[in-house]
Amino acid sequence: MSDKAYLKIDDLEVSFPVETGTEGDRAIDIKTLRSSTGGIVTIDPGYKNTASTRSKITYLNGEAGILRYRGYPIEELADQSSFLEVAYLLIFGELPDKATFEKFVADIKDKSFVNEEMKNIIDGFPRSAHPMGILSSMTSALTAFYPVNFDFNDKEELYKIIVRLLGKFPILGAWAMRKRNGWPLTYADSSLSYTGNLLKMMFEKPMEPYKVNEISAKALDKLLILHADHEQNCSTSTVRLIGSSHAGIFAAISGGVSALWGPLHGGANQAVLEMLEQIRQDGGDVQKYINKAKDKSDPFRLMGFGHRVYKNFDPRARIIKKYADEVLADLGVEDPLLDIAKELEQAALNDEYFKARKLYPNVDFYSGIIYRALGIPVEMFTVMFAIGRLPGWIAQWKEMRENNEPIGRPRQLYIGPRERHYVPIDKR
Protein backbone atom coordinates (compact mmCIF):
# COMPACT_ATOMS: atom_id res chain seq x y z
CA MET A 1 0.00 0.00 0.00
CA SER A 2 1.33 3.40 -0.96
CA ASP A 3 2.53 5.73 1.74
CA LYS A 4 2.08 8.73 -0.57
CA ALA A 5 -0.91 10.33 -2.30
CA TYR A 6 -0.44 12.38 -5.47
CA LEU A 7 -2.38 15.40 -6.63
CA LYS A 8 -2.15 16.72 -10.19
CA ILE A 9 -3.39 20.21 -10.87
CA ASP A 10 -2.54 22.34 -13.91
CA ASP A 11 1.15 21.62 -14.60
CA LEU A 12 1.88 20.74 -11.02
CA GLU A 13 2.12 17.36 -9.33
CA VAL A 14 2.51 17.29 -5.57
CA SER A 15 2.62 14.41 -3.14
CA PHE A 16 1.40 14.05 0.42
CA PRO A 17 2.25 11.45 3.07
CA VAL A 18 -0.39 8.82 3.86
CA GLU A 19 -0.59 8.00 7.55
CA THR A 20 -2.02 4.79 9.03
CA GLY A 21 -3.77 4.67 12.41
CA THR A 22 -3.45 1.81 14.92
CA GLU A 23 -6.61 0.15 13.55
CA GLY A 24 -5.48 0.42 9.93
CA ASP A 25 -7.47 3.54 8.97
CA ARG A 26 -5.59 5.73 6.49
CA ALA A 27 -5.41 9.50 6.18
CA ILE A 28 -3.73 11.82 3.66
CA ASP A 29 -1.81 14.50 5.50
CA ILE A 30 -2.48 17.68 3.48
CA LYS A 31 -0.67 20.03 5.85
CA THR A 32 1.54 21.31 2.98
CA LEU A 33 -1.27 21.63 0.41
CA ARG A 34 -1.52 25.42 0.38
CA SER A 35 2.17 26.07 0.52
CA SER A 36 2.94 23.59 -2.26
CA THR A 37 0.11 24.61 -4.63
CA GLY A 38 0.11 28.37 -4.29
CA GLY A 39 -2.89 28.63 -1.97
CA ILE A 40 -5.28 25.89 -3.11
CA VAL A 41 -7.54 24.55 -0.33
CA THR A 42 -9.91 21.59 0.02
CA ILE A 43 -13.64 22.04 0.51
CA ASP A 44 -15.57 19.56 2.65
CA PRO A 45 -18.88 20.83 4.08
CA GLY A 46 -19.80 19.05 7.29
CA TYR A 47 -16.20 17.71 7.40
CA LYS A 48 -17.45 14.40 5.98
CA ASN A 49 -13.93 13.52 4.73
CA THR A 50 -11.80 15.45 7.16
CA ALA A 51 -9.98 14.10 10.21
CA SER A 52 -9.61 17.19 12.35
CA THR A 53 -7.11 15.58 14.70
CA ARG A 54 -5.15 12.48 15.68
CA SER A 55 -6.75 11.04 18.79
CA LYS A 56 -6.05 8.16 21.20
CA ILE A 57 -9.39 8.29 23.00
CA THR A 58 -12.21 6.59 21.11
CA TYR A 59 -12.21 4.20 18.17
CA LEU A 60 -15.33 4.01 16.08
CA ASN A 61 -15.80 1.85 13.00
CA GLY A 62 -19.12 2.81 11.45
CA GLU A 63 -19.13 0.03 8.85
CA ALA A 64 -18.51 -2.74 11.38
CA GLY A 65 -20.55 -1.13 14.21
CA ILE A 66 -17.57 -1.01 16.61
CA LEU A 67 -17.12 1.46 19.47
CA ARG A 68 -14.20 1.32 21.91
CA TYR A 69 -13.04 3.72 24.61
CA ARG A 70 -9.22 3.65 24.93
CA GLY A 71 -9.33 0.22 23.25
CA TYR A 72 -11.99 -1.32 25.51
CA PRO A 73 -15.19 -2.50 23.72
CA ILE A 74 -18.27 -0.51 24.74
CA GLU A 75 -20.13 -3.78 25.41
CA GLU A 76 -17.58 -4.82 28.09
CA LEU A 77 -17.55 -1.40 29.72
CA ALA A 78 -21.36 -1.14 29.79
CA ASP A 79 -21.55 -4.61 31.30
CA GLN A 80 -18.72 -4.50 33.84
CA SER A 81 -17.57 -0.96 34.55
CA SER A 82 -19.13 2.11 36.16
CA PHE A 83 -19.62 5.62 34.80
CA LEU A 84 -16.96 7.22 36.97
CA GLU A 85 -14.45 4.49 36.18
CA VAL A 86 -15.14 5.05 32.48
CA ALA A 87 -14.76 8.80 33.05
CA TYR A 88 -11.32 8.19 34.58
CA LEU A 89 -10.37 5.88 31.72
CA LEU A 90 -11.38 8.42 29.07
CA ILE A 91 -9.75 11.39 30.75
CA PHE A 92 -6.51 9.83 31.99
CA GLY A 93 -6.06 7.03 29.45
CA GLU A 94 -5.94 3.91 31.68
CA LEU A 95 -8.28 2.07 34.04
CA PRO A 96 -7.46 3.24 37.58
CA ASP A 97 -6.22 0.95 40.34
CA LYS A 98 -8.41 0.67 43.44
CA ALA A 99 -6.75 3.42 45.51
CA THR A 100 -6.61 5.88 42.61
CA PHE A 101 -10.25 5.25 41.80
CA GLU A 102 -11.40 5.66 45.39
CA LYS A 103 -9.53 8.95 45.61
CA PHE A 104 -11.04 10.10 42.30
CA VAL A 105 -14.59 9.35 43.52
CA ALA A 106 -13.93 11.01 46.89
CA ASP A 107 -12.45 14.09 45.20
CA ILE A 108 -15.50 14.45 42.95
CA LYS A 109 -17.79 14.17 45.99
CA ASP A 110 -15.70 16.76 47.76
CA LYS A 111 -16.35 19.21 44.93
CA SER A 112 -20.07 18.40 44.61
CA PHE A 113 -21.44 21.76 45.65
CA VAL A 114 -22.02 24.96 43.75
CA ASN A 115 -21.42 28.48 44.97
CA GLU A 116 -24.65 29.81 46.54
CA GLU A 117 -24.46 32.93 44.39
CA MET A 118 -25.05 30.76 41.32
CA LYS A 119 -28.62 30.42 42.60
CA ASN A 120 -29.17 34.12 41.85
CA ILE A 121 -28.36 33.44 38.24
CA ILE A 122 -30.83 30.54 38.02
CA ASP A 123 -33.41 32.80 39.66
CA GLY A 124 -33.19 35.14 36.67
CA PHE A 125 -34.44 32.51 34.22
CA PRO A 126 -38.15 32.22 33.49
CA ARG A 127 -39.62 28.87 34.53
CA SER A 128 -40.30 28.08 30.89
CA ALA A 129 -36.57 28.09 30.09
CA HIS A 130 -35.32 24.88 28.48
CA PRO A 131 -32.98 23.01 30.88
CA MET A 132 -30.28 22.79 28.17
CA GLY A 133 -30.24 26.58 27.89
CA ILE A 134 -29.92 26.85 31.66
CA LEU A 135 -27.18 24.17 31.76
CA SER A 136 -25.14 25.86 29.05
CA SER A 137 -25.43 29.30 30.72
CA MET A 138 -24.69 27.97 34.20
CA THR A 139 -21.64 26.04 32.99
CA SER A 140 -20.32 29.21 31.41
CA ALA A 141 -21.15 31.11 34.61
CA LEU A 142 -18.78 28.81 36.54
CA THR A 143 -15.98 30.88 34.98
CA ALA A 144 -17.00 33.73 37.25
CA PHE A 145 -16.52 31.63 40.39
CA TYR A 146 -13.50 29.43 39.69
CA PRO A 147 -10.11 30.41 38.23
CA VAL A 148 -9.97 30.15 34.48
CA ASN A 149 -6.36 30.91 33.77
CA PHE A 150 -4.78 28.05 35.68
CA ASP A 151 -1.50 26.66 34.40
CA PHE A 152 -2.46 23.80 32.09
CA ASN A 153 0.89 22.08 32.68
CA ASP A 154 0.34 22.01 36.43
CA LYS A 155 -1.01 18.45 36.78
CA GLU A 156 -2.45 19.12 40.23
CA GLU A 157 -4.42 22.17 39.05
CA LEU A 158 -5.63 20.31 35.99
CA TYR A 159 -6.84 17.39 38.12
CA LYS A 160 -8.64 19.78 40.46
CA ILE A 161 -10.51 21.51 37.65
CA ILE A 162 -11.53 18.13 36.21
CA VAL A 163 -12.99 16.76 39.47
CA ARG A 164 -14.62 20.14 40.10
CA LEU A 165 -16.42 20.00 36.79
CA LEU A 166 -17.47 16.36 37.25
CA GLY A 167 -18.82 17.26 40.70
CA LYS A 168 -20.71 20.42 39.78
CA PHE A 169 -22.11 19.65 36.33
CA PRO A 170 -24.84 17.17 37.41
CA ILE A 171 -25.91 19.60 40.14
CA LEU A 172 -26.45 22.28 37.51
CA GLY A 173 -28.40 19.77 35.41
CA ALA A 174 -30.63 18.81 38.35
CA TRP A 175 -31.13 22.47 39.29
CA ALA A 176 -32.23 23.22 35.72
CA MET A 177 -35.03 20.70 36.18
CA ARG A 178 -35.96 21.91 39.67
CA LYS A 179 -36.17 25.47 38.35
CA ARG A 180 -38.66 24.32 35.73
CA ASN A 181 -40.72 22.57 38.40
CA GLY A 182 -40.54 25.56 40.75
CA TRP A 183 -38.84 23.38 43.39
CA PRO A 184 -36.17 24.54 45.87
CA LEU A 185 -32.57 24.04 44.79
CA THR A 186 -31.09 21.27 46.93
CA TYR A 187 -27.63 20.01 47.84
CA ALA A 188 -25.72 16.88 46.85
CA ASP A 189 -25.63 13.87 49.15
CA SER A 190 -22.09 12.43 49.44
CA SER A 191 -23.35 9.14 50.84
CA LEU A 192 -24.84 8.27 47.44
CA SER A 193 -23.38 7.06 44.16
CA TYR A 194 -22.96 9.56 41.30
CA THR A 195 -26.24 8.55 39.63
CA GLY A 196 -28.04 7.90 42.93
CA ASN A 197 -27.22 11.47 43.92
CA LEU A 198 -28.33 12.78 40.52
CA LEU A 199 -31.71 11.06 40.87
CA LYS A 200 -32.12 12.38 44.41
CA MET A 201 -31.22 15.90 43.32
CA MET A 202 -33.78 15.75 40.51
CA PHE A 203 -36.68 14.13 42.34
CA GLU A 204 -36.41 14.84 46.07
CA LYS A 205 -39.37 16.82 47.39
CA PRO A 206 -38.95 19.10 50.43
CA MET A 207 -41.63 17.39 52.54
CA GLU A 208 -40.51 13.77 52.33
CA PRO A 209 -37.26 11.78 52.41
CA TYR A 210 -36.12 10.43 49.05
CA LYS A 211 -35.08 6.82 48.73
CA VAL A 212 -32.91 6.01 45.72
CA ASN A 213 -34.18 3.11 43.66
CA GLU A 214 -31.02 1.08 42.98
CA ILE A 215 -32.40 -0.33 39.71
CA SER A 216 -32.90 3.22 38.45
CA ALA A 217 -29.45 4.38 39.60
CA LYS A 218 -27.81 1.39 37.89
CA ALA A 219 -29.80 1.91 34.70
CA LEU A 220 -28.82 5.57 34.58
CA ASP A 221 -25.17 4.70 35.23
CA LYS A 222 -25.19 2.34 32.24
CA LEU A 223 -26.82 4.96 30.01
CA LEU A 224 -24.19 7.50 30.98
CA ILE A 225 -21.41 5.02 30.09
CA LEU A 226 -22.94 4.55 26.64
CA HIS A 227 -22.95 8.31 26.07
CA ALA A 228 -19.52 9.05 27.53
CA ASP A 229 -17.61 9.69 24.30
CA HIS A 230 -18.08 9.40 20.56
CA GLU A 231 -14.92 10.86 19.03
CA GLN A 232 -15.15 13.99 16.86
CA ASN A 233 -18.94 14.58 16.80
CA CYS A 234 -20.53 18.04 16.57
CA SER A 235 -20.43 18.94 20.28
CA THR A 236 -16.97 17.46 20.88
CA SER A 237 -15.57 19.29 17.87
CA THR A 238 -17.17 22.44 19.30
CA VAL A 239 -15.46 21.86 22.66
CA ARG A 240 -12.10 21.32 20.93
CA LEU A 241 -12.58 24.35 18.69
CA ILE A 242 -13.47 26.69 21.55
CA GLY A 243 -10.66 25.24 23.66
CA SER A 244 -8.19 25.73 20.80
CA SER A 245 -8.41 29.50 21.35
CA HIS A 246 -7.35 28.77 24.97
CA ALA A 247 -10.71 29.96 26.28
CA GLY A 248 -11.27 28.25 29.65
CA ILE A 249 -12.65 24.74 30.07
CA PHE A 250 -16.04 25.96 31.38
CA ALA A 251 -16.52 28.11 28.26
CA ALA A 252 -15.58 25.18 26.03
CA ILE A 253 -17.95 22.75 27.79
CA SER A 254 -20.74 25.34 27.75
CA GLY A 255 -20.33 25.52 23.96
CA GLY A 256 -20.47 21.72 23.82
CA VAL A 257 -23.80 21.75 25.69
CA SER A 258 -25.25 24.22 23.16
CA ALA A 259 -24.08 22.13 20.21
CA LEU A 260 -25.49 18.97 21.76
CA TRP A 261 -28.90 20.59 22.21
CA GLY A 262 -29.82 20.48 18.49
CA PRO A 263 -32.30 17.81 17.32
CA LEU A 264 -29.82 16.43 14.77
CA HIS A 265 -27.42 15.68 17.63
CA GLY A 266 -28.22 15.00 21.31
CA GLY A 267 -31.59 16.74 21.10
CA ALA A 268 -32.74 13.75 19.04
CA ASN A 269 -33.58 11.81 22.23
CA GLN A 270 -36.25 14.38 23.14
CA ALA A 271 -37.40 14.50 19.51
CA VAL A 272 -37.76 10.67 19.39
CA LEU A 273 -40.05 10.60 22.40
CA GLU A 274 -42.13 13.45 21.02
CA MET A 275 -42.37 11.62 17.71
CA LEU A 276 -43.44 8.33 19.35
CA GLU A 277 -46.04 10.20 21.41
CA GLN A 278 -47.34 11.90 18.27
CA ILE A 279 -47.63 8.52 16.49
CA ARG A 280 -49.53 7.11 19.48
CA GLN A 281 -51.94 10.03 19.60
CA ASP A 282 -52.39 9.77 15.85
CA GLY A 283 -53.68 6.18 16.14
CA GLY A 284 -50.36 4.28 16.07
CA ASP A 285 -50.02 4.04 12.28
CA VAL A 286 -46.22 3.65 11.96
CA GLN A 287 -46.31 3.22 8.19
CA LYS A 288 -47.74 6.72 7.82
CA TYR A 289 -44.63 8.11 9.54
CA ILE A 290 -42.26 5.89 7.54
CA ASN A 291 -43.85 7.36 4.40
CA LYS A 292 -43.53 10.90 5.73
CA ALA A 293 -39.81 10.31 6.46
CA LYS A 294 -39.30 9.07 2.88
CA ASP A 295 -41.17 11.97 1.30
CA LYS A 296 -38.55 14.53 0.20
CA SER A 297 -41.14 17.32 0.14
CA ASP A 298 -41.87 16.70 3.85
CA PRO A 299 -39.21 17.99 6.31
CA PHE A 300 -40.06 15.16 8.75
CA ARG A 301 -37.20 12.76 9.49
CA LEU A 302 -37.41 9.57 11.46
CA MET A 303 -35.76 10.78 14.65
CA GLY A 304 -33.31 8.35 16.24
CA PHE A 305 -32.49 6.89 12.83
CA GLY A 306 -29.37 7.39 10.76
CA HIS A 307 -25.90 8.48 11.71
CA ARG A 308 -23.04 10.32 10.05
CA VAL A 309 -20.58 7.55 10.85
CA TYR A 310 -22.54 4.34 11.52
CA LYS A 311 -23.66 2.64 8.33
CA ASN A 312 -24.57 -0.39 10.39
CA PHE A 313 -26.26 -0.88 13.77
CA ASP A 314 -25.11 1.70 16.31
CA PRO A 315 -23.67 -0.67 18.97
CA ARG A 316 -25.04 1.62 21.68
CA ALA A 317 -28.57 1.23 20.27
CA ARG A 318 -28.23 -2.57 20.40
CA ILE A 319 -27.28 -2.45 24.09
CA ILE A 320 -29.95 0.10 25.00
CA LYS A 321 -32.74 -1.78 23.22
CA LYS A 322 -31.98 -4.96 25.16
CA TYR A 323 -31.58 -2.96 28.33
CA ALA A 324 -34.88 -1.11 27.83
CA ASP A 325 -36.76 -4.43 28.02
CA GLU A 326 -34.90 -5.41 31.21
CA VAL A 327 -35.25 -2.06 32.99
CA LEU A 328 -38.94 -1.70 32.23
CA ALA A 329 -39.54 -5.26 33.48
CA ASP A 330 -37.46 -4.64 36.65
CA LEU A 331 -39.28 -1.40 37.37
CA GLY A 332 -42.65 -2.94 36.51
CA VAL A 333 -43.32 -0.28 33.88
CA GLU A 334 -45.39 -0.95 30.77
CA ASP A 335 -44.96 1.65 28.10
CA PRO A 336 -46.98 1.57 24.87
CA LEU A 337 -44.30 3.80 23.31
CA LEU A 338 -41.80 0.91 23.54
CA ASP A 339 -44.11 -1.22 21.38
CA ILE A 340 -44.48 1.62 18.88
CA ALA A 341 -40.70 2.09 18.81
CA LYS A 342 -40.15 -1.62 18.09
CA GLU A 343 -42.79 -1.62 15.36
CA LEU A 344 -41.31 1.51 13.82
CA GLU A 345 -37.80 0.05 13.90
CA GLN A 346 -38.93 -3.16 12.16
CA ALA A 347 -40.86 -1.23 9.51
CA ALA A 348 -37.84 0.98 8.78
CA LEU A 349 -35.33 -1.88 8.74
CA ASN A 350 -37.49 -3.69 6.14
CA ASP A 351 -38.02 -0.63 3.99
CA GLU A 352 -35.97 -0.16 0.79
CA TYR A 353 -35.44 3.59 1.45
CA PHE A 354 -33.80 2.96 4.82
CA LYS A 355 -31.92 -0.14 3.62
CA ALA A 356 -30.44 1.63 0.59
CA ARG A 357 -29.21 4.54 2.73
CA LYS A 358 -27.99 2.25 5.52
CA LEU A 359 -30.12 4.01 8.11
CA TYR A 360 -30.25 2.14 11.42
CA PRO A 361 -31.49 3.08 14.90
CA ASN A 362 -28.95 5.23 16.74
CA VAL A 363 -28.27 5.73 20.46
CA ASP A 364 -31.21 8.10 20.83
CA PHE A 365 -33.88 5.75 19.52
CA TYR A 366 -34.42 3.71 22.70
CA SER A 367 -32.70 5.80 25.40
CA GLY A 368 -35.76 8.01 25.91
CA ILE A 369 -37.91 4.98 26.73
CA ILE A 370 -35.59 4.20 29.64
CA TYR A 371 -35.41 7.84 30.79
CA ARG A 372 -39.21 7.90 30.74
CA ALA A 373 -39.39 4.71 32.80
CA LEU A 374 -37.13 6.42 35.36
CA GLY A 375 -39.62 9.30 35.53
CA ILE A 376 -37.29 11.79 33.85
CA PRO A 377 -39.25 14.48 31.97
CA VAL A 378 -38.68 14.67 28.24
CA GLU A 379 -37.04 18.12 28.23
CA MET A 380 -34.36 16.68 30.57
CA PHE A 381 -33.33 13.87 28.18
CA THR A 382 -30.63 15.91 26.46
CA VAL A 383 -29.34 17.09 29.85
CA MET A 384 -28.83 13.39 30.71
CA PHE A 385 -26.90 12.98 27.45
CA ALA A 386 -24.76 16.01 28.38
CA ILE A 387 -23.98 14.62 31.84
CA GLY A 388 -22.96 11.36 30.18
CA ARG A 389 -20.85 13.12 27.53
CA LEU A 390 -19.00 15.34 30.00
CA PRO A 391 -16.00 12.96 30.52
CA GLY A 392 -15.59 12.66 26.76
CA TRP A 393 -15.60 16.43 26.31
CA ILE A 394 -13.05 16.82 29.11
CA ALA A 395 -10.82 14.06 27.68
CA GLN A 396 -10.95 15.57 24.19
CA TRP A 397 -10.27 19.09 25.46
CA LYS A 398 -7.34 17.81 27.54
CA GLU A 399 -5.88 15.86 24.63
CA MET A 400 -6.17 18.90 22.36
CA ARG A 401 -4.30 21.09 24.85
CA GLU A 402 -1.69 18.39 25.61
CA ASN A 403 -0.95 18.06 21.88
CA ASN A 404 -0.56 21.82 21.65
CA GLU A 405 -2.96 21.86 18.73
CA PRO A 406 -3.12 25.13 16.80
CA ILE A 407 -6.19 27.34 16.97
CA GLY A 408 -9.01 25.83 14.85
CA ARG A 409 -9.55 28.11 11.90
CA PRO A 410 -10.93 26.61 8.68
CA ARG A 411 -10.60 28.25 5.27
CA GLN A 412 -13.41 28.93 2.81
CA LEU A 413 -14.00 29.23 -0.90
CA TYR A 414 -15.40 32.73 -1.39
CA ILE A 415 -18.32 32.82 -3.86
CA GLY A 416 -19.77 36.29 -3.05
CA PRO A 417 -19.69 39.48 -5.15
CA ARG A 418 -16.40 40.74 -6.55
CA GLU A 419 -15.25 44.22 -5.59
CA ARG A 420 -17.95 46.87 -6.05
CA HIS A 421 -18.35 50.42 -4.82
CA TYR A 422 -20.56 51.97 -2.22
CA VAL A 423 -23.66 53.82 -3.47
CA PRO A 424 -25.22 56.43 -1.14
CA ILE A 425 -28.71 55.49 0.05
CA ASP A 426 -30.57 58.17 -2.00
CA LYS A 427 -28.92 56.88 -5.19
CA ARG A 428 -29.94 53.19 -4.78
Instruction: Select 133 or 262, whichever has its Cβ closest to ligand CMC.
Output: 262
Among 265, 372, 389, 401, binds ligand CMC (CB under 6 A): 265
306 is a contact residue toward ligand CMC (CB under 6 A): yes
Question: Is residue 304 near ligand CMC by the rule CB under 6 A?
Answer: yes
User: What positions carry a catalytic annotation?
Assistant: 307, 364
Binding mask 220-249 for ligand CMC (x = CB under 6 A): ----------x--x----------------
Tell which one of 160, 218, 308, 342 touches ligand CMC (CB under 6 A): 308
What is the closest distance, in whole angstroms, from the C-beta atom of residue 268 to ligand CMC in the complex? 4
* Whole-number Å distance between alpha carbons of 339 and 272: 14
388 binds ligand CMC (CB under 6 A): no
Within residues 43-102, the interface with ligand CMC by CB under 6 A covers: 46
Backbone angles phi, psi at 8, to 5 degrees: -110, 125
Q: Which stretch binds ligand CMC (CB under 6 A): 29-37, 105-113, 302-310, 329-337?
A: 302-310
Q: Which of 212, 293, 319, 374 binds ligand CMC (CB under 6 A)?
A: 293
Verify binding: residue 362, ligand CMC, rule CB under 6 A.
yes
Site membership for ligand CMC, residue 160 (CB under 6 A): no
- Find the binder of ligand CMC among 86, 302, 337, 386 (CB under 6 A): 302
Q: Provide the minimum distance between the beta carbon of 173 and ligand CMC in the complex, in angstroms, as a whole number.
A: 17
Q: How far is the CB of 294 from ligand CMC (least distance, A)?
A: 7
Interaction of residue 218 with ligand CMC, rule CB under 6 A: no
Pick the closer one to ligand CMC by CB: 105 or 384.
384
Task: Find the binder of ligand CMC among 364, 368, 386, 388 (CB under 6 A).
Answer: 364
Nearer to ligand CMC, 46 or 182 (CB): 46
Residue 381 touching ligand CMC (CB under 6 A): no
Cα-flanking dihedrals φ and ψ of residue 389, to 5°?
A: -80, -15
Choose the stretch contacting ligand CMC; rule: CB under 6 A; options: 75-83, 300-308, 320-328, 329-337.
300-308
4-9 vs 12-20, strand pairing mode: antiparallel
Is residue 226 a contact partner of residue 219, using CB atoms and an 8 Å limit?
Answer: no
Q: Does 264 bind ligand CMC (CB under 6 A)?
A: yes
Identify which range of 113-121, 126-134, 263-271, 322-330 contacts ligand CMC by CB under 6 A.
Answer: 263-271
Compute the distance between CA of residue 192 and CA of residue 194 in angstroms, rounded to an integer.
7
Cβ proximity to ligand CMC, 193 vs 362, nearer residue? 362
Of the pair 3, 282, the CB lying nearest ligand CMC is at: 282
Closest residue to ligand CMC, based on beta-carbon distance: 306
Q: How far is the CB of 300 from ligand CMC (least distance, A)?
A: 8
Distance CA 13, CA 2 (A): 16
Provide the minimum distance between the beta carbon of 246 and ligand CMC in the complex, in angstroms, as a whole number: 27
User: Which residues lie near ligand CMC (CB under 6 A)?
Assistant: 46, 230, 233, 264-266, 268, 293, 301-308, 357, 359, 362-364
